[in-house]
């Protein structure tokens, strides 16, 4: 890291737990770092401004840098106590504090956070005497297995893996290098995790799916003899559940990221580099393409296909296959333009109801007038 200030690098200690190292840098040094990462930027104000952290506009304090990409938050930026701001090139604003201007301020802030804070540093336990590790398990060099973790027979764990307390790894599981399993993760037997996979606390991989056959008014359990395969660089949030396949494989593609409380049904296939937000559910045997984004509380029924680069809006209910590049919203999910028009009509229903009531009254009056006119005309003709 670029430590332009004396005594720059240090490691914070909180309650005995080691957290990420922090590097104190300067605005100019940070701009040069971004340049080295392919992000061109321009600075305004003192390049020697010390920067020791990143934070939101509301919470930033002296020594921290924040970002502004939307002019709507101009007032927050003006009131912020940050020592510097990262702003977009299309933000035409002047500030009393130094700024770093670039095309993608969000990416710049991410790189700044990595540069200054780094990622979480995991404890190095080695293999704790309080861990339960089967004799036939193979543990790679540099791995850390915490006390209270259980590693069953014939498990293979790669180099530099970290297994936190309370985690259970079942028989014949294979785990790659640099994997992190946070507390109370459960990996059922025969599942496979690739390299650099992170599974957050409370998640379960490989539990039985909802597999039952109806028989004489009862449900007969189908043996779930498949497994789960998770690709490299996947991150699974807290309290997620990924069912093992009834037969074959439930698969999560390389680079895919899950938020919390995600449920994946048995035999589903999720492609590479997908993003699933909290409370998403994908039913069994559905195939999801690559780089698909599914927003919070959306549900996808089973046995359909979702094409590449599809975007599914929050709380959508997908009931049919979607072509590549589709953007859908609503329940049942429809093209996003149609959904917005439907929502607008729903918002107008009270006014439309009142207008219909008025029109019905006018029609009744017209009918009454017409009937009276007809009666008068008929009477005049009969005279």
Read off the pLDDT of residues 7-63 as tens digits, 9 standing for 90 and up: 333 333 333 334 455 678 999 999 999 999 999 999 999 999 999 999 999 999 999
Inside any domain, residue 161: no
From 33, 115, 227, 266, active-site residue:
266
Beta bridge partners of 54: 65
Same domain, 309 and 212: yes
pLDDT for the residue numbered 13: 33
Same domain, 328 and 193: yes
Q: How far apart are CA 225 and CA 357, in angstroms?
A: 61
Inside any domain, residue 302: yes
373 flagged as catalytic: no
192-218 core/surface letters (b: 16 or more CB in 10 A; e: else) = bbbbbbbbbbbbbbbeebebeeeeeee
Q: Report the domain count for the chain.
A: 3
pLDDT for the residue numbered 24: 87
Inside any domain, residue 5: no
327 lies in which domain range?
188-332
Please report, for the domain that includes residue 28, its CATH number. Answer: 3.40.1390.10
Per-position DSSP letters for 94-105, written without gaps between them:
--SS-EEEES-H
Structure tokens at 7: 């005594």
pLDDT for the residue numbered 22: 67
CA 334, 335, 336, 342 torsion: positive or negative? negative
Q: How far apart are CA 101 and CA 39, in angstroms?
A: 10
With a cut of 50, say whether residue 4 has pLDDT above it.
Answer: no
Mean pLDDT confidence for 195-208:
98
Mean pLDDT confidence for 239-252:
98
Structure tokens at 190: 């025969």
* pTM of the shown model: 0.86
Inside any domain, residue 4: no
DSSP class of residue 164 equals -
Taking alpha carbons only, the member of 23, 19, 21 closest to residue 4 is: 23
Inside any domain, residue 79: yes
Inside any domain, residue 208: yes
Inside any domain, residue 382: yes
Same domain, 256 and 376: no
With a cut of 50, say whether residue 78 has pLDDT above it.
Answer: yes
Inside any domain, residue 41: yes
Measured at the alpha carbon of residue 298, what is the angle toward residues 293 and 302, in degrees to the nearest 5?
95
Chain mean pLDDT for the chain: 91
């Amino acid at each position: 890291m670029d430590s332009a200030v004396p005594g720059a690098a240090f490691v914070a200690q909180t309650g005995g737990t080691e957290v990420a190292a922090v590097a104190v840098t300067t605005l100019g040094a940070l701009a040069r770092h971004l340049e080295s990462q392919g992000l061109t930027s321009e600075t305004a104000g003192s390049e020697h401004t010390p920067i020791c952290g990143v934070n939101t506009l509301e919470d930033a304090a002296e020594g921290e840098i924040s970002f502004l990409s939307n002019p709507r938050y101009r007032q927050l930026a003006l009131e912020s106590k940050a020592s510097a701001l990262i702003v977009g090139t299309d933000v035409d604003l002047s500030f009393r504090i130094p700024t770093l201007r670039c095309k993608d301020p969000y990416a710049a802030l991410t790189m700044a956070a990595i540069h200054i804070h780094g990622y979480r540093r995991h404890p190095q336990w080695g293999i704790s005497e309080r861990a339960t590790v089967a004799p036939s398990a193979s543990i790679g060099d540099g791995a850390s297995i915490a006390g209270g973790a259980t590693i069953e027979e014939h498990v293979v764990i790669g180099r530099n893996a970290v297994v936190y307390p309370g985690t259970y790894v079942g028989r014949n599981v294979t785990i790659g290098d640099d994997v992190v399993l946070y507390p109370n993760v459960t990996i059922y037997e025969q599942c496979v995790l690739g390299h650099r996979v992170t599974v957050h606390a409370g998640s379960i991989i490989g539990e039985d799916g909802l597999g039952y056959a109806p028989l004489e008014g009862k449900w007969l359990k189908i043996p779930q003899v498949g497994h789960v395969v998770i690709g490299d660089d996947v991150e699974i949030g807290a309290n997620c559940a990924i069912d093992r396949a009834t037969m074959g494989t439930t698969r999560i593609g390389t680079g895919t990221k899950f938020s919390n409380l995600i449920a994946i049904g048995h035999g589903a296939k999720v492609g590479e580099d997908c993003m699933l937000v909290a409370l998403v559910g994908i039913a069994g045997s559905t195939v999801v393409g690559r780089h698909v984004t599914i927003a919070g509380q959306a549900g996808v029924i089973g046995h359909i296909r979702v094409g590449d680069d599809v975007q599914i809006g929050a709380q959508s209910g997908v009931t049919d296959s979607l072509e590549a590049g589709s953007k859908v919203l609503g329940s049942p999910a429809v093209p996003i333009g149609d959904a917005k028009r439907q929502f607008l009509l729903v918002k107008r229903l009270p006014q439309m109801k009142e207008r219909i009531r008025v029109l019905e009254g006018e029609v009744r009056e017209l009918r009454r007038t017409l009937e009276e006119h007809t009666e008068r005309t008929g009477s005049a003709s009969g005279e």
